[in-house]
Amino acid sequence: MPETECPPTRRVELFVRASLPTPSRERRTAIETALEALARTDAVDETNTTLWEKRVPVEDCGDRLERDRYNEFAAWAREEGVRLAPFFDTRTCYSMQTGRKREELVMPVMCVAVYEDGDLRQVAPVAGDDGPISVDDCLTDLTAHTETRRPNTRTVPTAD
């Protein structure tokens, strides 16, 4: 079987709260524009925007996008030696539905996740030993690696 060089695929997912005030909506638009520009330069292959809730109950047993992403991001953060807090937080909140207090996971206004070949490679914002890494830092890093991305290829066997 012949072999060919195949660059890794890079997907960037922007997560934003479903309800945003005007300044945050403008920031969202700016980030989406920056991601589209990165896609045009081949720094990324695909970008998506996903809406998530501001907060979700910790004890809720149902499937929740927010909890699934948080668990994925937390596992990545442990491996990388960074922290999701204070950007992701657990707080005691009052529930209008039940009239009681409950623990809730509070999501950041915006979050970026970078996947290469389906594997999570970067999350922002996070806190590291050298300080916070913001969404802007992540976008800057992606822009800086535009020139070096395509040569980083892997050999894949192809059918005759």
**Residues 38-82 pLDDT 10s:** 999 888 999 999 999 998 888 766 668 899 999 999 999 999 999
More confident residue, 29 or 158: 29
Instruction: List the one residue out of 3, 34, 41 whose CA is nearest residue 145.
Output: 41
Predicted pLDDT of residue 108: 96
More confident residue, 141 or 150: 141
All structural domains of the chain, each given as residue ranges with its CATH number in brackets, are 3-132 (3.40.30)
> Rounded to whole angstroms, how far apart are CA atoms 53 and 62?
14
**Tokens standing for residue 67:** 């909890």
